[in-house]
Structure 1
Amino acid sequence: MESTHEKNAIVFKALCDEKRLAILELLRGGEKCACVLIEQMDIGQSSLSYHMKILCESGIVESRQEGKWTHYKLSESGSKYAAELLIQLTTPNAAKTLDES
């Protein structure tokens, strides 16, 4: 079982790479097929898979399979968690933790 710090580190790992940030920006426009992301990012399939695995593990991105392609979209709950986590960790004297909410 992973600790709260390990869970939170996974979220920040997802946000600490410029390619993953670019992918998140593309997904802000709605769900995208992996084939579209490969084309728009100008990266290979294995590179996209690597980045999407990290984004999905963080909970910020959700995936669904349709035929041979995977479709990705931003997760409303995962994105909300990441935003609240950043606020909590950077707010002096914050009284409430995410685990308590």
Structure 2
Amino acid sequence: MGRTAKSDLVTLFAALTDPTRLRLLNLMDGREVCVCYFVEILKQGQPKISRHLAYLRRAGIVEARRDGKWMHYRIERPDDPKVASILDATLHSFKGDRDMQADLARLEKACCEPQRFVTLQGVPMPLTV
């Protein structure tokens, strides 16, 4: 039995209620990111980050890809136009948020200088999607 539009909206809104999940979406906007970067940027443990990513995957807005031992995540645009418009508005709202922009600056710094971060040694760089 498929999900209804109402259940998709409920699931989406539930996914968007957590600040960590919002920060993850912000970091994935327009790029595919290895989980190691999330751990480094958000300063949270890998199990906690993975639980949040699994929640976003269940909501149908994040996809994962394995590359050897690395897991990469990216935003998956929902088919339902209502759900997609809410996700788009959420992502757009991050552009005016100082904390979200600080996360992006930390990601940029980590990408440009991965040698400064022990946890990022040998980790693939985020890919633009």
TM-score (norm 1): 0.72
Structure 1 segment 1-101 matched on structure 2, within 5 A: 1=1, 3-4=3-4, 5-77=6-78, 82-84=83-85
- Report 1 or 2 for greater relative contact order, CA contacts < 8 Å, sequence distance ≥ 6: 2
Q: Residue 63 of structure 2: SS of its match in structure 1?
A: strand
Runs (4+) off by over 3 Å: 77-81, 83-86
Structure 2, unaligned stretches of length 5 or more? 88-129
- Give the corresponding residue for 2:109: none
Tell me the distance in 2 between the aligned counterparts of 1:19 and 1:39: 13
Superposed CA deviations along residues 7-39 of structure 1, whole A, max 9, x for unmatched, are 322111111111100111111141100011111
The aligned amino acid for 1:31 is E
Q: Identity across aligned pairs (percent)?
A: 37
TM-score (norm 2): 0.58
- Aligned to 2:31, the other structure's residue is in SS state coil
> By how many angstroms is 1:55 displaced?
0.5
